[in-house]
Amino acid sequence: MKRSHALAMPALGMALLCLPLGAGAQETETDPDTGLIKASGWETVRNNCTACHSANLVTQNSGTRNHWENLIRWMQETQGLWKFEAETEETILDYLAEYYGPKEDTRRPALPRTLMPDNPYPTVADAD
């Protein structure tokens, strides 16, 4: 049994080494100006998402399509972001969900307020 064990370890090592290569082969060229991944739709995102703030804000964020849609609605309601043509919005959301999707290796996002238990403590909002 010792023998098969000794054989298995290098094989596992090889498999692990190949993983990053496999992922990298999917070609992730980034735009030097914005840092956005150059893939279908990236120019639409650049044109619509870097006027008010740095693209870093976009590239450092990540989440589901729903997360991105909520962010866009929030910016539209409170930050003066314009409304998009349905097609443009699709392109933007497709791109963000695909290339800036949820990170699997980080802490899970906070639960939405509606899924949280009631706060048992008095808050400022309850004061009056």
Interface with ligand HEC (CB under 6 A): 48-49, 51-53, 57-58, 61, 71-72, 75, 79-81, 92
State which amino acid sits at residue 24. Answer: G
Which residue, among 91, 92, 85, has the nearest Cα to 71 in the 3D structure? Answer: 92
Nearest distance from C-beta of residue 96 to ligand HEC, angstroms: 6
Nearest distance from C-beta of residue 101 to ligand HEC, angstroms: 13
Instruction: Give the pair of three-digit tokens for residue 113.
Output: 């307020």
Cα dihedral across residues 24, 25, 31, 37: positive or negative = negative
Nearest distance from C-beta of residue 92 to ligand HEC, angstroms: 5
Q: Find out whether 34 and 55 touch, Cβ atoms under 8 Å.
A: yes
A 10 A CB-CB count for 118 gives 5
Q: Would you say 13 or 47 has its CB closer to ligand HEC?
A: 47
Nearest distance from C-beta of residue 36 to ligand HEC, angstroms: 10
State which amino acid sits at residue 26. Answer: Q
